[in-house]
């Protein structure tokens, strides 16, 4: 009896330690708060140094996040070579960890936070976006086009995961627009037209013409008609003029070329944790989780070995699932002025909308995985406990029960320095130096003006401006 009591005392101490440890674990966003604050304040050099001293990001399971954040901070520091060094590492890493059986097993036995982070689908797209911009800044237009093409391939692979692709993230209009812009930069107006037309088709096939929070930009309408005209495709010109209720008027190309200005506004949503509570019951076909309104069948763990488990002992089960929390916006819109003309920047990609929508799309699949993990832990508990009265077995089973409760955590990791949304416009340039005034409207209604210097070369040039507040 003394031995058993001592054993229980040890178990209680261990479990208390586990409780304090697990409850003390905060979300991923909270654990990288120092780095995150540097980014929001525009201290990119300090943010970059902070990454190298962050113990959480040094862990193997978070290696992808380290690569992503290093690539992004170097991009914001205007070091495209260093940025692509880490973004290429991120790209390669994603391919390596797609289906690691041992890693998946760890996630099943503990929680998905212990698995290697594999990235969200739209995060994979954003790797190619930043790599493409980096290549443009290095005067490697062909490499930029390759990255834009890879965005389309990436989204097609995403679409292949689902039987019903109607409302799935399986194409990206922005990536097709990027392809068109990059083809133009390389002087290939034929492929530019095809890319712009493909982007238009994405919007045409979307409900109400809105694709993941974005309406078709007016600039895209102009670009598809203009490139159709330059290619001599008069029937396409007529079609799009009628469709967009406009009439195309050819214009002389600006002497200094044009600037494609991207404005990356705000910060992407961060992940938090939400809780659900289920009860486990036995049905004719196996086991079911129920929340009182609907039943979720668990298929695969049924058989003679399960008959000895007393379901009457089962209590409500706590299930965790990630949820996105939007980051408050500091700016709401922007206008660019240069050489006597003003241009309103139009939204072309809504990362905030993509994050919420894609998480919702995979809710059913991930919830099934979560419930499976809980059932495995519950079976282990009652297999150990048995039906007899054994203090030692009850103690071990109790430890398993508490471990199951406390170890259940949602994966709250994501690439958190992505923008909330991306806007763009095209600005005619004069030969030589151009001063672009980017006027951003704050939530308060006040305005801030940012000056951008761009060299007019007679060609299409690119610039992305970041306001991560």
Would you list the domain boundaries of the chain?
1-28+257-469
Tokens representing 3 are 């031995």
**Residue 301: pLDDT above 90?**
no
Q: How high is the pLDDT of residue 330?
A: 95
The answer to whether residue 289 scores a pLDDT higher than 70 is no
* Top-confidence residue, 159 or 465: 465
Instruction: Give me the chain's average pLDDT, please.
Output: 82
Q: For position 1, what pLDDT does the model report?
A: 46
The Cβ of residue 126 has, within 10 Å, a number of other Cβ atoms equal to 24
- Across 312-337, average pLDDT: 83
Q: How many CB atoms lie within 10 A of CB 286?
A: 14
Question: 106-115, 129-138, 310-319: which range is least confident on average?
Answer: 310-319
Q: Which two tokens stand for residue 379?
A: 């079976």
User: Which band of pLDDT confidence, cut at 50, 70 and 90, is reported for residue 194?
Assistant: very high
Q: At what angle do helices 234-244 and 218-230 cross, to 10 degrees?
A: 160
pLDDT at 141 over 70: yes
Q: Is 139 within 8 Å of 438 (Cβ atoms)?
A: no
What is the reported pLDDT for 13?
A: 45
pLDDT number for residue 117: 93
Distance, CA of 282 to CA of 271 (rounded, Å): 34
Greater confidence, 412 or 367? 412
Counting residues of the chain whose pLDDT is more than 70, the rounded percentage is 72
16 compared with 237, residue with greater pLDDT? 237
Split at pLDDT 50, 70, 90, the class of 276 is: confident
Q: Is 35 within 8 Å of 417 (Cβ atoms)?
A: no
Q: Largest Cα–Cα distance of the chain, in whole Å?
A: 95
**Range in 318-332, 344-358, 359-373 the model is least confident about:** 359-373
Phi then psi for residue 259, to 5 deg, are: -105, 130
- Range of lowest pLDDT (203-217, 351-365, 392-406, 443-457): 392-406
Give Cβ neighbours of residue 166 (< 8 Å, ≥ 6 apart): none
Q: How confident is the model at residue 3 (pLDDT cuts 50, 70, 90)?
A: very low
Distance CA 112, CA 105 (A): 10
Which token pair is 129?
Answer: 């976006």
Query: Which of 30-39, 156-165, 410-419 has the least mean pLDDT?
Result: 156-165
Task: Identify the band that residue 418 occupies on the pLDDT scale cut at 50, 70 and 90.
Answer: very high
């Amino acid at each position: 009896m003394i031995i058993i009591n001592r054993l229980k005392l040890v178990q209680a101490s261990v479990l208390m330690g586990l409780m304090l440890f697990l409850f003390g674990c905060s979300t991923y966003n909270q654990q990288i708060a120092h780095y995150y604050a540097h980014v929001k304040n525009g201290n990119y050099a300090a943010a970059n140094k902070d990454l190298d001293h962050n113990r959480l990001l040094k862990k193997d399971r978070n290696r992808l996040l380290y690569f992503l954040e290093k690539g992004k901070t170097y991009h914001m520091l205007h070091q495209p070579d260093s940025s692509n060094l880490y973004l290429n590492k991120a790209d390669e890493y994603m391919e390596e960890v797609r289906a690691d059986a041992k890693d998946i097993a760890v996630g099943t036995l503990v929680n998905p936070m212990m698995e290697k982070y594999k990235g969200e689908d739209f995060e994979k797209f954003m790797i190619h976006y930043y790599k493409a911009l980096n290549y443009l800044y290095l005067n490697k237009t062909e490499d930029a086009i390759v990255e834009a093409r890879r965005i389309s391939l990436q989204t097609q692979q995403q679409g292949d995961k689902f039987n019903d692709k109607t409302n799935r993230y399986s194409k990206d209009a922005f990536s097709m627009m990027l392809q068109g812009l990059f083809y133009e930069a390389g002087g290939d107006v034929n492929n530019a037209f095809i890319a712009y037309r493909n982007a238009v088709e994405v919007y045409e096939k979307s409900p109400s013409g809105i694709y993941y929070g974005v309406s078709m930009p007016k600039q895209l309408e102009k670009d598809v008609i203009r490139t159709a005209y330059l290619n001599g495709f008069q029937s396409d010109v007529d079609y799009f003029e009628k469709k967009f209720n406009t009439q195309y008027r050819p214009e002389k190309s600006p002497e200094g070329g044009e600037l494609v200005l991207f404005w990356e506004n705000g910060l992407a949503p961060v992940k938090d944790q939400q809780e659900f509570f289920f009860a486990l019951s036995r049905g004719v076909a196996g086991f079911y989780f129920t929340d009182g309104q609907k039943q979720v069948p668990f298929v695969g763990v049924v058989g003679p070995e399960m008959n000895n488990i007393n379901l009457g002992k089962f209590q409500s089960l706590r299930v965790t699932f990630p949820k996105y929390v939007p980051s408050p916006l500091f700016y709401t819109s922007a206008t660019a002025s240069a050489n006597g003309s003003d241009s309103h920047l139009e939204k072309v990609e809504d990362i905030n909308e993509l994050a919420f929508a894609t998480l919702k799309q995979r809710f059913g699949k991930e919830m099934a995985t979560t419930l499976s993990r809980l059932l495995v832990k519950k079976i282990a508990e009652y297999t150990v406990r048995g039906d007899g009265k054994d203090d030692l077995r009850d103690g071990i089973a109790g430890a398993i029960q508490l471990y199951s409760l406390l170890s259940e955590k949602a994966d709250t990791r994501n690439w958190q320095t992505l923008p909330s949304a991306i806007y763009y416009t095209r600005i005619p340039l004069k030969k030589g130096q151009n001063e672009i005034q980017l006027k951003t409207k704050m939530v308060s209604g006040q305005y801030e003006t940012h000056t951008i210097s761009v060299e007019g070369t007679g060609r299409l040039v690119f610039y992305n401006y970041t306001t991560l507040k």
